[in-house]
Chain A
Amino acid sequence: MSTGEERILTYAEAIREGLRQEMQRDESVVLMGEDIGAYGGAFKVTKGLLEEFGPERVRDTPISEIAIVGAAIGAAIMGLRPVAEIMYMDFLPIATEQLVIQAAKMRFSSGGKLRIPLVVRTQYSLGRAHAAQHSNFFPAWYMNVPGLKVVTPSTPYDAKGLIIGSIRDDNPVLFVECAVLYYGVKGPVPEEPYEIPLGVADVKREGSDVTIVAVSRMVHEALKAAEELEKKGISAEVIDPRTLNPLDRQTIVESVKKTGRAVVAADDCKTGGVTAELAATIVEGAFDYLDAPIVRVASPDMPIPFSPPLENRYMRWAKDIVEAVEGMV
């Protein structure tokens, strides 16, 4: 990161800058999705790109998730680098067959003849009072798919570097953004293009007593929790895997070997969720180093309620992580 005058961008601005710079660099990058053109995207992430690059490169589509992902796959087979947008992660299951049964198998089932440089961007809106069909985060479904990469940025810096890294990757990538972070998080972002390779975790805060592995929005809750814990004399290390597949197991395991304790936190439901894979990774790699059982901080196994106080109660926060850590030290 640059050390001098730091430029501060929102998470949404950082993704937009990454998209814009890749489109400037590489003519084969084409965007397609619902309302991404004149409207600028449901969350204004693609605002201004239609004006800059024109309708051949920023393509508004009908409400046709199967065709959006399918057409992006076809274009990718032919050598374009399409970035398809699925407005809400809740809409992704409509096109999951295309992404999982088609795109993710293509390199393999073609005996290595095909290359699918495809990015599917989507976002989850937990925390925005959007109820059970507009709030879901289920990355674990897609972590279970060899051939597909899954990226979950938490900071503006990572969001820009990872969208660039995803576009340059020659594989299908599911890029899951978090809506409450779009304008809720700001941070330093260098102006020049930079790429964060997929599969490299980031230690967001160093510590020695406990490891908190957190994903997407929960990274920020983990950092708040670490502040709280520091006041209580507990030193927490916060790790953001940044990409869930490939998962940087080594960084996670090494940290737990050092601290001897682990909390894993993510916004998806507990059963069969991301936290299950993170916990299993720690058990496999650092079982002998654990001084306490791993605690999972995950959403409850129920659909997401609308009523804001209920949704707030449903969600996991820094205090839940603090409680978890206090229970193990």
Chain B
Amino acid sequence: MAKLEIEIEEIGEVSVQEALSLGLTEGDLLRMYRKLVELRLFENRVEQLYLYEARIQGTAHLYTGEEAIAVGVARAIEGFGYIVSHHRGHGHALAMGIPPKEVMAELFGKETGVVKGLGGSMHVAIDPKRGALWASAIVGSGIPIAAGAALALRYRGERGVVVGFFSDGAANTGAFHEGLNLASFWKLPVIFACENNQWGMSMPARKSITCGRVAYRAAAYGMPGVIADGNDVLSVYKATKEAADRALRGEGPTLIEFITYRLKGHGVYDKATYRPKGEVEEWEKKDPLPRFEQKLIEAGITTEDRLKEVREEVAKEIEEAVKFAEESEVLEFDKLWEVVYA
């Protein structure tokens, strides 16, 4: 009988010491901490603006709890990487360096937003000059698009890599299958970054991923499958860096399954009562922010006081972003005609 060999590399928690040996500096670690805080406080503020202040309309899919993935990936591909984002993309946008005020203005539907108020929450991570290529609000559809962007890099001989973000839910789409297979067939410099946050709206990943792990599926496409701790920013960094190095060496794509947890509901309005009792509390213990804080303090890189200052500085920045968004104008309707066609 034919046998499929499945070898999965598991990258667990990475220590500060190991991170420093991987090329990160203490300054990098502090910047990454600041980014994690920015993503978290941004989402906290957005939740308030929607639910309690009713100052933003539509929907928003919060990234709360998953921040370590965007921040770790963005650092690992800094200077040569591109991303394709999705509907849960506030964190991707901020991690790629789009200013919080532009992201906030987008949520407010203002012309000063990342995409002039035409995209809203589900399309904030679009800024090609910062490497954010596109954000698909259709689950799974960004996967083959990421492969195609990588094809362009390889075709032109450019040193670069594309990260296609998607979720456990997207791993069950046809686009996932076709995109991964094509990327492997052409050995493209792309990283398929599955943010397994355990829930596809109300469908638990433990049921819908019928083979148990998304990463196992990599074997079916002849590419390495990696499982990393998506709640440890340094584990994310290490897994992404290894995959990026592989891509840059011309060895093709990697599928990384980042194990994480969606601490909030599917959208801001979703109270997520379908989750088993105690599950959220269990995952809160693995919250990526306190974990990283503790590591930094234990390694003697910073102090609790200094981190508190960072949190206060960032909170102020987020408040300025809200003010900026509030005070910005809405695009004139007639201007829309200018962007239907190039």
Contact = CB atoms under 8 A, between A and B. Distances in A.
B144 A74 contact: yes
Interface stretch (B172-180, B212-220, B245-253): B172-180
A102 interface: yes
B11 interface: no
B261 interface: no
A251 interface: no
Most B C-beta atoms less than 10 A away, residue of A71, A74, A79, A112: A74
Interface in A108-131: 108-117
Interface stretch (B147-155, B271-279, B299-307): B147-155
B84 interface: yes
Interface stretch (B15-23, B36-44, B63-71, B334-342): B334-342
A82 B151 CA distance: 11
Interface residues of B, number: 44
Interface in B101-128: 113-119, 123, 126-128
Interface in B123-159: 123, 126-128, 133-134, 136, 138, 141, 143-153, 155
A313 B335 CA distance: 49
Contacts of A109: 115, 118-119, 123, 126
B182 A61 contact: yes
Interface in A141-185: 146-147, 149, 170-171
Nearest to A65: B178
B185 interface: yes
A200 interface: no
A70 B141 contact: yes
A71 B145 contact: yes
Interface string A132-147: 0000000000000011
A282 interface: no
B162 to A, nearest CB: 8
B181 interface: yes
A147 B340 contact: yes
Contacts of A72: 148
Contact of B182 (A67, A78, A146): A67
B182 A62 contact: yes
Interface in B170-194: 174-175, 178-179, 181-182, 185-186
Contacts of B182: 61-62, 64, 67-68, 71
Contact of B128 (A59, A67, A69, A77): A77
Contacts of A58: none
B141 A80 contact: no
Contact of B126 (A101, A114, A146, A147): A114
Given A109-B123, A111-B115, A78 B153 contact: yes
A66 interface: yes
A80 B155 contact: yes
A219 to B, nearest CB: 26
A114 B141 contact: no
Contacts of B117: 111
Contact of A97 (B138, B151, B179, B341): B138
A201 interface: no
Interface size band for A: 35 or more
A114 B340 CA distance: 11
Interface in A38-93: 56, 59, 61-62, 64-80, 82
A125 B298 CA distance: 70
Contacts of B178: 62, 64-67, 70
Given A64-B181, A114-B134, A147-B340, A71 B155 contact: no
A111 B118 contact: yes
B335 to A, nearest CB: 9
Contact of B338 (A59, A64, A97, A112): A112
Contacts of B339: 107-108, 111-112
A19 interface: no
A277 to B, nearest CB: 18
A115 B126 CA distance: 12
Interface string B242-262: 000000000000000000000
22 contacts: A30-B155, A62-B182, A67-B144, A67-B179, A67-B181, A67-B182, A70-B145, A70-B179, A71-B147, A73-B144, A73-B145, A74-B146, A75-B149, A78-B153, A80-B155, A107-B339, A107-B340, A109-B123, A110-B123, A112-B338, A149-B341, A170-B342
* Top-3 shortest CB links A-B: A74-B148, A70-B144, A71-B148
Interface of A: 30, 56, 59, 61-62, 64-80, 82, 97-98, 101-102, 106-117, 146-147, 149, 170-171
Interface of B: 84, 113-119, 123, 126-128, 133-134, 136, 138, 141, 143-153, 155, 162, 174-175, 178-179, 181-182, 185-186, 336, 338-342
